[in-house]
DNA sequence: CGTGACATTGACTAGTATCAACCAAAGTGG
DNA sequence: CCACTTTGGTTGATACTAGTCAATGTCACG
Protein backbone atom coordinates (compact mmCIF):
# COMPACT_ATOMS: atom_id res chain seq x y z
CA UNK A 1 0.00 0.00 0.00
CA UNK A 2 1.44 3.30 -1.02
CA UNK A 3 -0.39 5.47 1.50
CA UNK A 4 2.91 7.11 2.29
CA UNK A 5 3.00 8.50 -1.22
CA UNK A 6 -0.19 10.46 -0.73
CA UNK A 7 0.00 14.11 0.00
CA UNK A 8 -2.43 15.51 2.48
CA UNK A 9 -4.11 18.83 2.13
CA UNK A 10 -6.35 20.04 4.86
CA UNK A 11 -7.73 23.38 3.73
CA UNK A 12 -8.69 25.90 6.36
CA UNK A 13 -12.28 25.63 5.25
CA UNK A 14 -12.49 22.27 6.95
CA UNK A 15 -12.00 23.91 10.29
CA UNK A 16 -14.62 26.57 9.72
CA UNK A 17 -17.27 24.08 10.72
CA UNK A 18 -19.98 26.71 10.88
CA UNK A 19 -18.87 28.71 7.89
CA UNK A 20 -20.83 28.94 4.64
CA UNK A 21 -21.17 25.59 2.91
CA UNK A 22 -20.19 27.20 -0.36
CA UNK A 23 -16.65 27.31 0.93
CA UNK A 24 -16.74 23.55 1.29
CA UNK A 25 -18.61 22.22 -1.69
CA UNK A 26 -19.57 25.19 -3.81
CA UNK A 27 -16.60 24.98 -6.11
CA UNK A 28 -16.31 21.21 -6.04
CA UNK A 29 -16.34 19.47 -9.39
CA UNK A 30 -18.64 16.83 -7.93
CA UNK A 31 -21.24 19.14 -6.40
CA UNK A 32 -23.84 18.34 -9.04
CA UNK A 33 -23.02 14.76 -9.83
CA UNK A 34 -22.83 11.45 -8.07
CA UNK A 35 -24.00 11.21 -4.49
CA UNK A 36 -23.54 14.89 -3.70
CA UNK A 37 -26.23 15.75 -6.20
CA UNK A 38 -28.75 13.91 -4.04
CA UNK A 39 -28.38 16.29 -1.12
CA UNK A 40 -29.37 19.87 -0.36
CA UNK A 41 -26.70 22.48 0.26
CA UNK A 42 -27.32 22.35 4.00
CA UNK A 43 -27.17 18.59 4.25
CA UNK A 44 -24.07 18.54 2.12
CA UNK A 45 -22.43 21.17 4.29
CA UNK A 46 -23.12 18.99 7.30
CA UNK A 47 -21.74 15.93 5.57
CA UNK A 48 -18.70 17.79 4.32
CA UNK A 49 -17.60 18.31 7.91
CA UNK A 50 -16.89 14.62 8.25
CA UNK A 51 -14.90 14.54 5.02
CA UNK A 52 -11.13 14.69 4.87
CA UNK A 53 -10.02 16.42 1.68
CA UNK A 54 -6.91 14.93 0.17
CA UNK A 55 -4.96 14.98 -3.05
CA UNK A 56 -3.46 12.11 -5.01
CA UNK A 57 -0.66 12.83 -7.45
CA UNK A 58 -0.87 11.42 -10.98
CA UNK A 59 0.28 7.82 -11.01
CA UNK A 60 -0.28 7.20 -7.29
CA UNK A 61 -2.47 4.46 -5.85
CA UNK A 62 -5.39 5.64 -3.73
CA UNK A 63 -6.89 2.19 -3.15
CA UNK A 64 -5.19 -1.17 -3.36
CA UNK A 65 -7.08 -4.34 -4.14
CA UNK A 66 -7.08 -6.65 -1.15
CA UNK A 67 -6.26 -3.97 1.45
CA UNK A 68 -8.69 -3.48 4.37
CA UNK A 69 -11.53 -1.25 3.19
CA UNK A 70 -11.32 1.37 5.91
CA UNK A 71 -12.37 4.40 3.87
CA UNK A 72 -14.65 5.58 1.13
CA UNK A 73 -13.83 8.31 -1.32
CA UNK A 74 -15.69 10.73 -3.49
CA UNK A 75 -13.74 12.24 -6.37
CA UNK A 76 -13.82 16.03 -6.56
CA UNK A 77 -11.43 16.68 -9.42
CA UNK A 78 -9.34 14.55 -11.75
CA UNK A 79 -9.59 11.03 -13.09
CA UNK A 80 -8.70 7.57 -11.85
CA UNK A 81 -8.30 4.16 -13.41
CA UNK A 82 -9.91 1.28 -11.51
CA UNK A 83 -8.45 -2.17 -12.06
CA UNK A 84 -7.83 -5.69 -10.93
CA UNK A 85 -4.61 -7.57 -11.61
CA UNK A 86 -3.48 -11.19 -11.76
CA UNK A 87 -0.35 -12.36 -9.93
CA UNK A 88 1.59 -12.51 -13.22
CA UNK A 89 0.84 -8.89 -14.02
CA UNK A 90 -2.07 -9.17 -16.43
CA UNK A 91 -4.36 -6.24 -15.71
CA UNK A 92 -8.02 -5.58 -16.35
CA UNK A 93 -9.23 -2.01 -16.02
CA UNK A 94 -12.80 -2.19 -14.74
CA UNK A 95 -13.58 1.45 -15.30
CA UNK A 96 -12.49 5.06 -15.34
CA UNK A 97 -13.71 7.33 -12.56
CA UNK A 98 -14.15 11.11 -12.72
CA UNK A 99 -15.54 13.85 -10.45
CA UNK A 100 -18.61 12.66 -8.57
CA UNK A 101 -17.63 9.01 -8.67
CA UNK A 102 -17.87 7.20 -5.36
CA UNK A 103 -15.04 4.76 -4.61
CA UNK A 104 -14.22 2.06 -2.15
CA UNK A 105 -17.57 0.56 -1.32
CA UNK A 106 -16.74 -3.11 -0.92
CA UNK A 107 -19.25 -5.81 -0.12
CA UNK A 108 -16.45 -7.51 1.69
CA UNK A 109 -14.31 -5.56 4.18
CA UNK A 110 -11.50 -5.59 1.69
CA UNK A 111 -11.22 -3.49 -1.47
CA UNK A 112 -12.17 -5.45 -4.56
CA UNK A 113 -10.19 -3.27 -6.95
CA UNK A 114 -7.29 -0.84 -7.05
CA UNK A 115 -7.67 2.84 -7.92
CA UNK A 116 -4.82 4.85 -9.43
CA UNK A 117 -4.76 8.54 -10.33
CA UNK A 118 -4.45 9.27 -14.06
CA UNK A 119 -3.90 12.96 -13.41
CA UNK A 120 -3.75 14.98 -10.20
CA UNK A 121 -6.82 14.07 -8.22
CA UNK A 122 -8.59 15.52 -5.19
CA UNK A 123 -11.04 13.47 -3.18
CA UNK A 124 -13.16 13.62 -0.05
CA UNK A 125 -12.34 10.77 2.30
CA UNK A 126 -14.84 9.23 4.73
CA UNK A 127 -14.31 6.57 7.35
CA UNK A 128 -16.29 3.41 6.86
CA UNK A 129 -18.20 3.90 10.12
CA UNK A 130 -19.13 7.45 9.16
CA UNK A 131 -20.88 6.32 6.04
CA UNK A 132 -23.23 4.17 8.04
CA UNK A 133 -24.12 7.19 10.15
CA UNK A 134 -24.61 9.27 7.04
CA UNK A 135 -27.09 6.74 5.68
CA UNK A 136 -29.12 6.98 8.89
CA UNK A 137 -29.12 10.76 8.78
CA UNK A 138 -29.66 11.19 5.03
CA UNK A 139 -31.77 8.40 3.58
CA UNK A 140 -31.56 10.14 0.20
CA UNK A 141 -27.91 9.18 0.15
CA UNK A 142 -28.67 5.49 0.38
CA UNK A 143 -31.34 5.74 -2.29
CA UNK A 144 -28.95 7.55 -4.59
CA UNK A 145 -26.25 5.02 -3.96
CA UNK A 146 -28.63 2.21 -4.89
CA UNK A 147 -29.50 4.08 -8.06
CA UNK A 148 -25.83 4.50 -8.92
CA UNK A 149 -25.13 0.84 -8.17
CA UNK A 150 -28.00 -0.28 -10.44
CA UNK A 151 -26.65 1.91 -13.19
CA UNK A 152 -23.17 0.49 -12.84
CA UNK A 153 -24.59 -3.03 -12.89
CA UNK A 154 -26.35 -2.51 -16.20
CA UNK A 155 -23.19 -0.94 -17.58
CA UNK A 156 -21.28 -3.98 -16.36
CA UNK A 157 -23.60 -6.24 -18.30
CA UNK A 158 -22.92 -4.27 -21.44
CA UNK A 159 -19.23 -4.66 -20.76
CA UNK A 160 -19.60 -8.43 -20.35
CA UNK A 161 -20.98 -8.53 -23.86
CA UNK A 162 -18.07 -6.45 -25.11
CA UNK A 163 -15.37 -8.51 -23.40
CA UNK A 164 -16.93 -11.88 -24.06
CA UNK A 165 -18.28 -11.55 -27.57
CA UNK A 166 -17.11 -8.50 -29.49
CA UNK A 167 -14.20 -8.29 -31.95
CA UNK A 168 -11.31 -5.87 -31.49
CA UNK A 169 -12.87 -3.45 -33.98
CA UNK A 170 -16.22 -3.57 -32.22
CA UNK A 171 -14.61 -3.09 -28.83
CA UNK A 172 -12.61 -0.05 -29.87
CA UNK A 173 -15.55 1.67 -31.54
CA UNK A 174 -17.81 0.87 -28.58
CA UNK A 175 -15.21 2.44 -26.35
CA UNK A 176 -14.94 5.59 -28.46
CA UNK A 177 -18.71 6.08 -28.46
CA UNK A 178 -18.89 5.43 -24.72
CA UNK A 179 -16.15 7.94 -24.11
CA UNK A 180 -17.92 10.49 -26.26
CA UNK A 181 -21.14 9.98 -24.30
CA UNK A 182 -19.22 10.39 -21.07
CA UNK A 183 -17.56 13.60 -22.21
CA UNK A 184 -20.84 15.03 -23.44
CA UNK A 185 -22.48 13.79 -20.23
CA UNK A 186 -25.46 12.57 -22.23
CA UNK A 187 -26.60 9.56 -24.23
CA UNK A 188 -27.46 11.28 -27.50
CA UNK A 189 -25.42 10.32 -30.53
CA UNK A 190 -22.32 12.47 -31.02
CA UNK A 191 -22.26 14.86 -33.99
CA UNK A 192 -19.84 14.22 -36.89
CA UNK A 193 -16.57 15.97 -36.09
CA UNK A 194 -16.88 15.55 -32.33
CA UNK A 195 -13.44 15.87 -30.79
CA UNK A 196 -12.56 13.51 -27.93
CA UNK A 197 -9.89 14.31 -25.40
CA UNK A 198 -8.65 10.85 -24.47
CA UNK A 199 -6.95 10.85 -21.09
CA UNK A 200 -6.23 7.10 -20.95
CA UNK A 201 -3.09 5.86 -22.71
CA UNK A 202 -3.18 3.08 -25.29
CA UNK A 203 -2.17 0.71 -22.50
CA UNK A 204 -5.17 1.84 -20.45
CA UNK A 205 -7.52 1.38 -23.37
CA UNK A 206 -6.07 -2.06 -24.09
CA UNK A 207 -6.42 -3.17 -20.47
CA UNK A 208 -9.96 -1.84 -20.42
CA UNK A 209 -10.99 -3.66 -23.61
CA UNK A 210 -9.15 -6.92 -22.99
CA UNK A 211 -6.75 -6.33 -25.90
CA UNK A 212 -3.05 -5.51 -26.35
CA UNK A 213 -1.75 -2.02 -27.05
CA UNK A 214 -0.65 -3.17 -30.51
CA UNK A 215 -4.15 -4.29 -31.39
CA UNK A 216 -5.65 -1.03 -30.11
CA UNK A 217 -3.11 0.98 -32.11
CA UNK A 218 -3.67 -1.05 -35.27
CA UNK A 219 -7.45 -0.84 -34.90
CA UNK A 220 -7.36 2.94 -34.50
CA UNK A 221 -5.10 3.18 -37.54
CA UNK A 222 -7.53 1.01 -39.50
CA UNK A 223 -10.50 3.17 -38.46
CA UNK A 224 -8.56 6.25 -39.57
CA UNK A 225 -7.65 4.61 -42.90
CA UNK A 226 -11.36 3.88 -43.39
CA UNK A 227 -12.16 7.56 -42.90
CA UNK A 228 -14.20 6.97 -39.75
CA UNK A 229 -11.96 8.85 -37.35
CA UNK A 230 -9.03 11.28 -37.30
CA UNK A 231 -6.06 11.13 -34.96
CA UNK A 232 -4.69 14.70 -34.77
CA UNK A 233 -2.47 13.69 -31.85
CA UNK A 234 -2.05 10.77 -29.48
CA UNK A 235 -4.70 11.90 -27.05
CA UNK A 236 -7.24 13.37 -29.42
CA UNK A 237 -9.69 11.54 -31.61
CA UNK A 238 -12.17 13.09 -34.02
CA UNK A 239 -15.30 11.11 -34.80
CA UNK A 240 -15.68 11.64 -38.56
CA UNK A 241 -18.65 9.37 -39.02
CA UNK A 242 -20.38 8.53 -35.70
CA UNK A 243 -23.30 6.77 -37.41
CA UNK A 244 -20.96 4.29 -39.09
CA UNK A 245 -19.08 3.83 -35.83
CA UNK A 246 -22.32 3.04 -34.06
CA UNK A 247 -23.06 0.48 -36.73
CA UNK A 248 -19.70 -1.20 -36.13
CA UNK A 249 -20.02 -1.04 -32.35
CA UNK A 250 -23.28 -3.02 -32.52
CA UNK A 251 -25.25 -0.41 -30.63
CA UNK A 252 -24.08 0.42 -27.08
CA UNK B 1 -41.93 -10.79 -25.87
CA UNK B 2 -43.13 -14.24 -25.07
CA UNK B 3 -45.44 -13.35 -22.19
CA UNK B 4 -48.10 -15.48 -23.82
CA UNK B 5 -45.98 -18.52 -23.21
CA UNK B 6 -46.04 -18.07 -19.45
CA UNK B 7 -48.43 -20.13 -17.41
CA UNK B 8 -50.12 -18.44 -14.51
CA UNK B 9 -50.73 -20.06 -11.19
CA UNK B 10 -52.61 -18.18 -8.54
CA UNK B 11 -52.74 -20.44 -5.52
CA UNK B 12 -55.59 -20.08 -3.07
CA UNK B 13 -53.15 -18.96 -0.42
CA UNK B 14 -52.84 -15.61 -2.14
CA UNK B 15 -56.42 -14.87 -1.33
CA UNK B 16 -56.10 -15.83 2.30
CA UNK B 17 -54.73 -12.39 3.04
CA UNK B 18 -55.00 -12.87 6.79
CA UNK B 19 -53.96 -16.48 6.87
CA UNK B 20 -50.72 -17.72 8.38
CA UNK B 21 -47.67 -16.42 6.58
CA UNK B 22 -46.22 -19.91 6.56
CA UNK B 23 -48.69 -20.77 3.85
CA UNK B 24 -47.24 -18.00 1.72
CA UNK B 25 -43.50 -18.10 2.23
CA UNK B 26 -42.79 -20.90 4.68
CA UNK B 27 -42.02 -23.47 2.03
CA UNK B 28 -40.48 -21.08 -0.45
CA UNK B 29 -36.97 -21.91 -1.64
CA UNK B 30 -36.06 -18.25 -1.28
CA UNK B 31 -37.33 -17.70 2.26
CA UNK B 32 -33.84 -17.56 3.71
CA UNK B 33 -31.88 -16.04 0.89
CA UNK B 34 -31.88 -12.86 -1.14
CA UNK B 35 -34.16 -10.04 -0.16
CA UNK B 36 -36.65 -12.21 1.71
CA UNK B 37 -33.99 -13.07 4.24
CA UNK B 38 -33.89 -9.41 5.28
CA UNK B 39 -37.47 -9.39 6.57
CA UNK B 40 -39.30 -10.86 9.54
CA UNK B 41 -42.03 -13.43 8.97
CA UNK B 42 -44.73 -10.83 9.59
CA UNK B 43 -43.28 -8.25 7.23
CA UNK B 44 -42.76 -10.89 4.60
CA UNK B 45 -46.33 -12.08 4.96
CA UNK B 46 -47.48 -8.53 4.37
CA UNK B 47 -45.23 -8.17 1.37
CA UNK B 48 -46.28 -11.52 -0.03
CA UNK B 49 -49.80 -10.22 -0.41
CA UNK B 50 -48.66 -7.89 -3.18
CA UNK B 51 -46.84 -10.66 -4.99
CA UNK B 52 -48.27 -12.56 -7.92
CA UNK B 53 -46.93 -16.11 -7.94
CA UNK B 54 -46.25 -17.46 -11.40
CA UNK B 55 -44.45 -20.29 -13.09
CA UNK B 56 -42.15 -20.26 -16.09
CA UNK B 57 -41.61 -23.47 -18.02
CA UNK B 58 -38.08 -24.56 -18.90
CA UNK B 59 -36.84 -22.72 -21.97
CA UNK B 60 -39.32 -19.85 -21.71
CA UNK B 61 -38.37 -16.18 -21.52
CA UNK B 62 -39.47 -14.37 -18.37
CA UNK B 63 -37.79 -11.07 -19.19
CA UNK B 64 -36.75 -9.74 -22.57
CA UNK B 65 -33.92 -7.24 -22.98
CA UNK B 66 -35.29 -3.92 -24.20
CA UNK B 67 -38.89 -4.52 -23.14
CA UNK B 68 -40.51 -2.00 -20.75
CA UNK B 69 -39.48 -2.89 -17.21
CA UNK B 70 -42.94 -3.08 -15.67
CA UNK B 71 -42.27 -5.81 -13.13
CA UNK B 72 -39.73 -7.19 -10.73
CA UNK B 73 -39.34 -10.83 -9.87
CA UNK B 74 -37.99 -12.90 -7.06
CA UNK B 75 -37.13 -16.50 -7.87
CA UNK B 76 -38.69 -19.08 -5.54
CA UNK B 77 -37.63 -22.30 -7.21
CA UNK B 78 -35.60 -23.25 -10.27
CA UNK B 79 -32.82 -21.60 -12.25
CA UNK B 80 -32.58 -18.99 -14.96
CA UNK B 81 -29.92 -17.87 -17.40
CA UNK B 82 -29.50 -14.10 -17.71
CA UNK B 83 -28.06 -12.82 -20.96
CA UNK B 84 -27.60 -10.10 -23.53
CA UNK B 85 -27.44 -10.74 -27.25
CA UNK B 86 -26.11 -8.96 -30.33
CA UNK B 87 -28.24 -8.53 -33.47
CA UNK B 88 -26.28 -11.28 -35.26
CA UNK B 89 -27.02 -13.80 -32.52
CA UNK B 90 -23.84 -13.72 -30.49
CA UNK B 91 -24.86 -14.19 -26.87
CA UNK B 92 -23.23 -13.34 -23.57
CA UNK B 93 -24.66 -14.95 -20.44
CA UNK B 94 -24.21 -12.43 -17.64
CA UNK B 95 -25.13 -14.81 -14.85
CA UNK B 96 -27.17 -17.72 -13.58
CA UNK B 97 -29.95 -16.98 -11.12
CA UNK B 98 -31.38 -19.38 -8.53
CA UNK B 99 -33.89 -19.20 -5.68
CA UNK B 100 -33.65 -15.89 -3.82
CA UNK B 101 -32.30 -13.97 -6.80
CA UNK B 102 -34.02 -10.69 -7.51
CA UNK B 103 -34.61 -9.93 -11.19
CA UNK B 104 -35.68 -7.04 -13.33
CA UNK B 105 -34.33 -4.03 -11.52
CA UNK B 106 -33.32 -1.74 -14.34
CA UNK B 107 -31.75 1.67 -13.89
CA UNK B 108 -33.53 2.58 -17.06
CA UNK B 109 -37.23 1.84 -17.51
CA UNK B 110 -36.32 -0.93 -19.90
CA UNK B 111 -34.85 -4.33 -19.03
CA UNK B 112 -31.09 -4.46 -19.60
CA UNK B 113 -30.97 -8.24 -19.99
CA UNK B 114 -33.13 -11.21 -20.87
CA UNK B 115 -33.97 -13.98 -18.41
CA UNK B 116 -34.78 -17.50 -19.56
CA UNK B 117 -35.78 -20.49 -17.46
CA UNK B 118 -33.23 -23.34 -17.44
CA UNK B 119 -35.66 -25.65 -15.67
CA UNK B 120 -39.21 -25.13 -14.42
CA UNK B 121 -39.17 -21.95 -12.40
CA UNK B 122 -41.57 -20.31 -9.98
CA UNK B 123 -41.28 -16.63 -9.13
CA UNK B 124 -43.04 -13.89 -7.18
CA UNK B 125 -43.95 -10.98 -9.42
CA UNK B 126 -44.19 -7.38 -8.21
CA UNK B 127 -45.29 -4.30 -10.08
CA UNK B 128 -42.68 -1.57 -10.41
CA UNK B 129 -44.77 0.90 -8.42
CA UNK B 130 -45.27 -1.59 -5.61
CA UNK B 131 -41.57 -1.94 -5.04
CA UNK B 132 -41.29 1.74 -4.33
CA UNK B 133 -44.01 1.41 -1.71
CA UNK B 134 -42.27 -1.61 -0.24
CA UNK B 135 -39.07 0.39 0.18
CA UNK B 136 -40.94 3.07 2.11
CA UNK B 137 -42.58 0.49 4.35
CA UNK B 138 -39.57 -1.77 4.86
CA UNK B 139 -36.31 0.16 4.80
CA UNK B 140 -34.48 -3.11 5.51
CA UNK B 141 -35.44 -4.17 2.01
CA UNK B 142 -33.64 -1.26 0.42
CA UNK B 143 -30.58 -1.80 2.58
CA UNK B 144 -30.50 -5.46 1.64
CA UNK B 145 -30.90 -4.63 -2.02
CA UNK B 146 -27.96 -2.25 -1.84
CA UNK B 147 -25.92 -4.97 -0.18
CA UNK B 148 -26.86 -7.43 -2.91
CA UNK B 149 -26.06 -4.90 -5.61
CA UNK B 150 -22.62 -4.19 -4.12
CA UNK B 151 -21.92 -7.90 -4.00
CA UNK B 152 -22.94 -8.33 -7.63
CA UNK B 153 -20.74 -5.40 -8.59
CA UNK B 154 -17.64 -6.90 -7.04
CA UNK B 155 -18.48 -10.20 -8.70
CA UNK B 156 -18.81 -8.35 -11.99
CA UNK B 157 -15.31 -6.94 -11.57
CA UNK B 158 -13.96 -10.42 -11.08
CA UNK B 159 -15.78 -11.46 -14.24
CA UNK B 160 -14.24 -8.55 -16.18
CA UNK B 161 -10.85 -9.95 -15.31
CA UNK B 162 -11.93 -13.41 -16.45
CA UNK B 163 -13.41 -12.26 -19.75
CA UNK B 164 -10.73 -9.72 -20.56
CA UNK B 165 -7.55 -11.42 -19.44
CA UNK B 166 -7.87 -15.11 -18.64
CA UNK B 167 -7.10 -18.03 -20.95
CA UNK B 168 -9.69 -20.69 -21.78
CA UNK B 169 -8.22 -23.07 -19.22
CA UNK B 170 -8.26 -20.39 -16.54
CA UNK B 171 -11.83 -19.42 -17.39
CA UNK B 172 -13.17 -22.95 -17.22
CA UNK B 173 -11.46 -23.76 -13.92
CA UNK B 174 -12.60 -20.43 -12.45
CA UNK B 175 -16.12 -21.32 -13.48
CA UNK B 176 -15.96 -24.78 -11.92
CA UNK B 177 -14.74 -23.39 -8.62
CA UNK B 178 -17.36 -20.63 -8.69
CA UNK B 179 -20.06 -23.17 -9.35
CA UNK B 180 -18.79 -25.33 -6.51
CA UNK B 181 -18.90 -22.35 -4.15
CA UNK B 182 -22.42 -21.56 -5.29
CA UNK B 183 -23.60 -25.13 -4.74
CA UNK B 184 -22.00 -25.31 -1.34
CA UNK B 185 -23.35 -21.82 -0.61
CA UNK B 186 -20.04 -20.88 0.96
CA UNK B 187 -16.64 -19.56 0.00
CA UNK B 188 -14.47 -22.26 1.57
CA UNK B 189 -12.40 -24.37 -0.78
CA UNK B 190 -14.20 -27.48 -2.02
CA UNK B 191 -12.92 -30.85 -0.78
CA UNK B 192 -11.27 -33.26 -3.23
CA UNK B 193 -13.96 -35.43 -4.77
CA UNK B 194 -16.65 -32.76 -4.59
CA UNK B 195 -19.38 -33.62 -7.09
CA UNK B 196 -20.92 -30.75 -9.08
CA UNK B 197 -24.36 -31.01 -10.61
CA UNK B 198 -24.00 -28.72 -13.65
CA UNK B 199 -27.36 -27.48 -14.84
CA UNK B 200 -26.05 -25.25 -17.67
CA UNK B 201 -25.29 -26.91 -21.01
CA UNK B 202 -21.91 -26.57 -22.70
CA UNK B 203 -23.44 -23.82 -24.80
CA UNK B 204 -24.44 -21.97 -21.63
CA UNK B 205 -20.98 -22.35 -20.15
CA UNK B 206 -19.39 -21.17 -23.39
CA UNK B 207 -21.66 -18.12 -23.61
CA UNK B 208 -20.93 -17.34 -19.97
CA UNK B 209 -17.15 -17.59 -20.38
CA UNK B 210 -16.84 -15.91 -23.77
CA UNK B 211 -15.72 -19.12 -25.47
CA UNK B 212 -17.17 -21.63 -27.95
CA UNK B 213 -18.70 -24.97 -26.94
CA UNK B 214 -15.86 -26.77 -28.66
CA UNK B 215 -13.28 -24.94 -26.58
CA UNK B 216 -15.21 -25.64 -23.38
CA UNK B 217 -15.49 -29.31 -24.29
CA UNK B 218 -11.83 -29.60 -25.21
CA UNK B 219 -10.76 -27.80 -22.06
CA UNK B 220 -12.84 -30.08 -19.84
CA UNK B 221 -11.38 -33.10 -21.63
CA UNK B 222 -7.89 -31.73 -21.08
CA UNK B 223 -8.57 -31.16 -17.37
CA UNK B 224 -9.83 -34.75 -17.15
CA UNK B 225 -6.79 -36.06 -19.01
CA UNK B 226 -4.61 -34.18 -16.49
CA UNK B 227 -6.38 -35.95 -13.64
CA UNK B 228 -7.83 -32.75 -12.21
CA UNK B 229 -11.50 -33.58 -12.77
CA UNK B 230 -13.76 -36.49 -13.69
CA UNK B 231 -16.73 -36.34 -16.03
CA UNK B 232 -19.04 -39.19 -14.99
CA UNK B 233 -21.76 -37.77 -17.23
CA UNK B 234 -22.49 -34.64 -19.20
CA UNK B 235 -23.93 -32.74 -16.29
CA UNK B 236 -21.73 -33.98 -13.49
CA UNK B 237 -18.20 -32.96 -12.71
CA UNK B 238 -16.02 -34.30 -9.93
CA UNK B 239 -13.27 -32.03 -8.65
CA UNK B 240 -10.36 -34.44 -8.20
CA UNK B 241 -7.79 -31.87 -7.20
CA UNK B 242 -9.39 -28.55 -6.14
CA UNK B 243 -6.10 -27.07 -4.94
CA UNK B 244 -4.52 -27.52 -8.36
CA UNK B 245 -7.64 -26.13 -10.00
CA UNK B 246 -7.45 -23.06 -7.79
CA UNK B 247 -3.85 -22.64 -8.86
CA UNK B 248 -4.86 -22.71 -12.51
CA UNK B 249 -7.83 -20.41 -11.99
CA UNK B 250 -5.53 -17.71 -10.56
CA UNK B 251 -7.46 -17.40 -7.31
CA UNK B 252 -11.11 -16.28 -7.60
C1' DC C 1 -35.56 -47.92 -34.29
C1' DG C 2 -35.31 -43.33 -35.94
C1' DT C 3 -34.94 -38.60 -34.58
C1' DG C 4 -33.22 -34.60 -32.36
C1' DA C 5 -30.54 -32.28 -28.84
C1' DC C 6 -26.25 -32.04 -26.89
C1' DA C 7 -21.39 -33.28 -26.63
C1' DT C 8 -16.84 -34.74 -28.35
C1' DT C 9 -13.13 -34.89 -31.51
C1' DG C 10 -10.35 -33.69 -35.61
C1' DA C 11 -8.53 -30.74 -39.34
C1' DC C 12 -7.93 -26.33 -40.64
C1' DT C 13 -8.18 -21.15 -40.21
C1' DA C 14 -8.34 -16.56 -38.52
C1' DG C 15 -7.85 -13.06 -35.30
C1' DT C 16 -5.03 -11.45 -31.78
C1' DA C 17 -0.89 -11.89 -29.17
C1' DT C 18 3.98 -11.81 -29.09
C1' DC C 19 8.40 -10.26 -30.34
C1' DA C 20 11.04 -6.75 -32.23
C1' DA C 21 12.30 -2.59 -34.62
C1' DC C 22 11.54 2.04 -35.09
C1' DC C 23 9.51 6.76 -34.18
C1' DA C 24 8.18 11.08 -31.68
C1' DA C 25 7.83 13.96 -27.81
C1' DA C 26 9.20 15.31 -23.38
C1' DG C 27 12.31 15.43 -19.79
C1' DT C 28 17.31 15.31 -17.82
C1' DG C 29 21.86 16.56 -17.09
C1' DG C 30 26.43 17.93 -18.54
C1' DC D 1 22.14 23.99 -26.02
C1' DC D 2 22.53 19.40 -27.22
C1' DA D 3 23.28 14.38 -26.39
C1' DC D 4 20.88 10.95 -23.81
C1' DT D 5 17.12 8.63 -21.67
C1' DT D 6 12.44 7.65 -20.87
C1' DT D 7 7.77 7.04 -22.05
C1' DG D 8 4.21 6.13 -25.12
C1' DG D 9 2.94 4.95 -29.81
C1' DT D 10 3.19 2.72 -34.45
C1' DT D 11 4.30 -0.84 -37.67
C1' DG D 12 5.92 -5.37 -39.33
C1' DA D 13 6.90 -10.47 -39.10
C1' DT D 14 5.64 -14.49 -36.91
C1' DA D 15 3.37 -17.58 -33.47
C1' DC D 16 -0.36 -19.44 -31.16
C1' DT D 17 -4.82 -19.64 -28.97
C1' DA D 18 -9.28 -20.22 -29.78
C1' DG D 19 -12.73 -20.16 -33.59
C1' DT D 20 -14.83 -22.49 -37.59
C1' DC D 21 -16.35 -26.29 -40.16
C1' DA D 22 -17.39 -30.97 -40.25
C1' DA D 23 -17.86 -35.77 -38.81
C1' DT D 24 -19.01 -38.81 -35.17
C1' DG D 25 -20.80 -40.21 -30.64
C1' DT D 26 -24.29 -40.49 -26.90
C1' DC D 27 -28.49 -40.32 -24.77
C1' DA D 28 -33.45 -39.47 -24.18
C1' DC D 29 -37.73 -39.86 -26.24
C1' DG D 30 -41.63 -40.89 -29.29
pLDDT higher at B38 or A216: A216
What span, in angstroms and rounded, lies between the C-alpha atoms of B44 and B25?
A: 8
**By C-alpha distance, which of A112, A131, A109 is closest to A47?**
A131
Contact (Cβ atoms closer than 8 angstroms) between residue A164 and residue B210? yes
| Mean pLDDT taken over chain A | 87
DSSP state of B161: H
Q: Compute the distance between CA of residue B151 and CA of residue B118 in angstroms, rounded to an integer.
A: 23
The CA distance from B210 to the nearest CA of chain A, in Å, is: 4
| Dist. CA A109–CA A121, nearest whole Å | 24
Ordered alpha helix ranges (H), chain B: 41-48, 128-137, 139-165, 168-184, 202-209, 213-225, 242-249
Contact assessment for residue A206 and residue A163, using Cβ atoms and an 8 Å cutoff: no
Stretches where chain B sits below pLDDT 70 are 1-24, 251-252
Per-residue pLDDT at A19 exceeds 50: no
B interface test, pick of A38, A149, A160 with most B CB neighbours within 10 Å = A160
A4 to A60, A184, A239: CA distances (angstroms): 10, 36, 42
CA of A226 to C1' of C20 (A): 27
Alpha-carbon radius of gyration of chain A: 19
Residue A209 to chain B, least CA–CA distance (Å)? 7
Instruction: Determine, for residues B92 and A160 on separate chains, whether the beta-carbon distance falls below 8 Å.
Output: yes
Q: Do A86 and B112 touch (CB under 8 A)?
A: no
Q: What's the half-sphere exposure (Cβ side, CA atoms, 13 Å) at A31? A: 13
pTM of the model: 0.90
CB B145 within 8 A of CB B102: yes
B97, B111, B139, B160: best mutation site toward chain A, by most A Cβ within 10 Å? Answer: B160
Residue A217 CB-density burial (10 A; 0-12 exposed, 13-18 middle, 19+ buried):
middle
**Residues with Cβ within 8 Å of residue B235, at least 6 apart in sequence:** B197, B198, B199
Q: What is the pLDDT of residue B24?
A: 66
Q: What confidence tens digit (pLDDT) does each residue in A78-137 have?
A: 999 999 999 999 999 999 999 999 999 887 889 999 999 999 999 999 999 888 888 888
Q: Do B209 and A150 make contact, defined as CB atoms within 8 angstroms?
A: no
Helices of type H across chain A: 41-48, 128-137, 139-165, 168-184, 202-209, 213-225, 242-249
Amino acid sequence: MSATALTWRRPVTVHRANGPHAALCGDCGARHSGLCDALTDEDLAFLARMAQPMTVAAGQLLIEEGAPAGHFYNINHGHMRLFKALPDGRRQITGFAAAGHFLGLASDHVYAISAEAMDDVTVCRFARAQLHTAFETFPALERKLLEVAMHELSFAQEQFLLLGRKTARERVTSFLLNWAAREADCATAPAPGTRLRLLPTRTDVADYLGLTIETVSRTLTALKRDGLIDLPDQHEIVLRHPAALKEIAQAV
